[in-house]
Structures are given as C-alpha cells and as structure tokens.
C-alpha cells in the first residue's frame, strides 16, 4: 500500500468505519481510481466527472465522506431564527405610483 493509499484508508477509518468496512470502501475507491485522500476530495468537490456518484459504497459512507471533507474545510451549517411577526406582517399601504397603480410584488389583480 502506497503512502497515498494510507491517506485514503485513514479517511475511511477517521469516519468511524470498522477495519473491514474501511477496507471494502478503500477497495471500491481504488477501483474508481481514487486511491488517495486528495483524489477522494477532488471527486467529492467536482461532481461533474461523476466519479463520486459512481463510487460503489453505501450512501451512508458517501455521506460520511461529505461530512468529513466539509469539517476539514471548515464548512458549517447553522439555523436561522424566524423574524418577529411585526417584521413579516403584510404591508397595510402597498407601494404605488403617483397615479395610484400598485407596483412591486405586493400588487394584486395585474
């Protein structure tokens, strides 16, 4: 096993896969030409070539790879707070032109 292959195996082990699961995932990655961590990351990052979607592993393993690389680059997801009702309440006086025609996304019957 080459040094690049050790990288890929370490990725699968770092995801929490057992030794046998990691070996099977590594073998599938090698069949697809993804023997190193850099090649795995490139396949995940560039979906246009289809190598990541053709990777013959379970969807849980693919999700684990995605989470691993997202964590590695510092990508995080958060929750947005819902705005107070006073902010999202409908407008009482719609936006109109000088002639009285409604304009904008609040107009009705156009």
Whether the predicted model's global pTM rises above the 0.85 cut: no
Answer yes or no: are the C-beta atoms of 62 and 43 closer than 8 Å: no
Residues 6+ apart with CB under 8 A from 34: 8, 40, 43, 51, 55
Neighbour-count burial of 101, counting CB atoms closer than 10 A to its CB (0-12 exposed, 13-18 middle, 19+ buried) = exposed
pLDDT in tens, 59-108: 999 999 999 999 998 887 778 888 887 777 666 666 778 887 777 765 66
Cα dihedral 14, 17, 22, 28 sign: negative
């Amino acid at each position: 096993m080459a040094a690049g292959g050790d990288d890929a195996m370490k990725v699968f082990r770092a995801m929490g896969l057992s030794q046998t699961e990691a070996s099977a995932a590594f073998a599938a990655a090698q069949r697809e030409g993804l023997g190193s961590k850099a090649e795995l990351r490139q396949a995940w990052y560039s979906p246009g070539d289809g190598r990541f979607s053709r990777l013959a592993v379970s969807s849980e393993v693919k999700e684990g790879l995605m989470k691993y690389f997202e964590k590695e680059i510092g990508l995080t997801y958060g929750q947005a707070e819902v705005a107070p009702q006073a902010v999202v309440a409908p407008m009482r006086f719609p936006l109109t032109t000088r002639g009285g025609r409604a304009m904008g996304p609040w107009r009705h019957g156009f």
